[in-house]
Structure 1
Amino acid sequence: MTKTSTGGEDGRQALLWRLQAAMREASAQGVLISQTIADRAGLNASDLECLDLMQLQGPRTAGELARATGLTSGAITGLIDRLERAGYVARESDPTDRRRVVVRVRPESLTALNALYAPLQAASEDLNARYSDEDLALIAAFMERNIAMARDFIAGLKAAP
C-alpha cells in the first residue's frame, strides 16, 4: 500500500473511506435531486434521467436507449411515449436510414426544467471556479473512470444469475 502525506497507511485508509463516503452521499443526493426535479416537472425520476442521457448522447434509437440504460425495449417504448406526450422529445426518421426512427430531445421544451436546475448550475459554477484547470482535468478524469466502472458493475450484475 502506498503511504501518503496524510499519515501513512492509516491516513490513506481514512482518506479512502472519506472519498467513498463522499461519493456515496453525492450519488444519493443526485438521486434525491432527480426525484425532486421530476416531481416538480410532473415526470418520474427514470424519465428525467433518461431525458438527460438523451441530451448528453444526442439522438438515439429506442434500441440504443435500451442498451444505454439497461431498460427493456417495452420500458423504453413507454418512457419515450411519456416524454413525447410531455413535449420533451420527438420521434424522427433517421437521416442515414429512413427505416429507423431516432428519438431527439426538443431543446425548446427544456426551458422550465432548465429554470429548476439554474440555482444548482450557478452553485456548481461557483464551486468549479475555485479549482485550477489541472484540478478540473483530474476530477473529470476520475469521474469518467468512475462512470465506466459503474457501467461495468451494472453489466456484471445484469449478467449474473
Structure 2
Amino acid sequence: MTDLSSPATERTLESALVEVMGMRLSTATILFHSAVAERLGLNATDMKCYTLLRQFGPLTAGELAERTGLTTGAITGVIDRLERAGLAQRKRDPDDRRCVVVELVHDPERERAIDQLYAPLGQAISQLVRDYTPAQRAAILDFITRATTILEQETRRLRQMDHASA
C-alpha cells in the first residue's frame, strides 16, 4: 500500500492537482462555455460578459471593459451581440443621465432556456459532490475558493503588467 503522506507521494499529488486545475479543468471549462455560447449564437467572451451582468447587475461599458480586460471598443461589440441575442440592453443611468449602463433583459422563457443548457452539468456536479463527506466538501470548497482568489489576483497582476509596459 502506498504511503500518501510520504514526501514523494505528496509532490506527485501536488503536481497532479496543479496540472488538472491549471490545464485540464480550465480548458474543459472554457470549451464548455464556448459550446453554451455557440448554442446562443454568441462566443465565450460574450457569455462571460452576460455572466458578469447576472452576477453584479447593471454595469457601464467601462466597468465591463475593466472587469474583462477588453478594450472599450471590443466591449461595444460584445454589448451589440448581447443586444441582438435579446440578452442585454443599454439604458440611461437613472442617477446620471449622461451615463449608459448595460443591464440584462428580463425574459423568463429565455432565462429558462439558458438555465437548461447548464442543468445537466449542475446535476452531474451535484451528484459528484454527494460522493464526498461533509468534511471533504468543506476542504474542496476551501480549496476552490482559495484557488479562484489566486486566479483573480494573477489575472489582475498580468493586466497591471500590460498597463505598466504600455
Indicate whether the TM-score tops 0.5.
Answer: yes
> Residues 73 and 125 (structure 1 numbering): CA distance in 2 closer, same or farther, change over 3 Å?
same
Alignment RMSD = 2.0
Q: TM-score, normalised by structure 2?
A: 0.82
1:103 paired residue number? 102
The share of aligned pairs that are identical, in percent, is 39
The answer as to 2:19 corresponding to 1:21 is yes
Provide, for residues 108-142 of structure 1, a one-character-per-residue CA deviation record: whole Å limited to 9, x for no partner.
Answer: 23232222222112112222233445443433332
In 2, the alpha carbon distance for the partners of 1:20 and 1:111 equals 35
1:154 paired residue number? 155
1:37 paired residue number? 36
Q: 1:100: how far off? A: 2.2
In 2, the alpha carbon distance for the partners of 1:134 and 1:51 equals 34
Counterpart mapping for 1:125-144 below 5 A: 125-144=126-145
Amino acid in structure 2 at the alignment position of 1:118:
A
Unaligned 5+ runs, structure 2 = none
Q: Which has the higher mean CA deviation after the structures are superposed, 121-130 or 45-54?
A: 121-130
Q: 1:33: how far off? A: 0.5
In 2, the alpha carbon distance for the partners of 1:137 and 1:103 equals 36
> Residues 128 and 94 (structure 1 numbering): CA distance in 2 closer, same or farther, change over 3 Å?
farther
Conserved 8 A contact 2:40-2:85: no
- Tell me the number of residue pairs that the alignment of Structure 1 and Structure 2 aligns: 157
Unaligned 5+ runs, structure 1 = none
Select the residue among 3, 6, 16 that pairs with 2:4: 6
Amino acid in structure 1 at the alignment position of 2:28:
Q
Amino acid in structure 1 at the alignment position of 2:123:
A
In 1, the alpha carbon distance for the partners of 2:120 and 2:77 equals 31
3-state secondary structure, aligned to 2:42: coil
> Residues 100 and 144 (structure 1 numbering): CA distance in 2 closer, same or farther, change over 3 Å?
farther
In 2, the alpha carbon distance for the partners of 1:85 and 1:41 equals 11
Amino acid in structure 1 at the alignment position of 2:141:
A
In 1, the alpha carbon distance for the partners of 2:92 and 2:140 equals 38
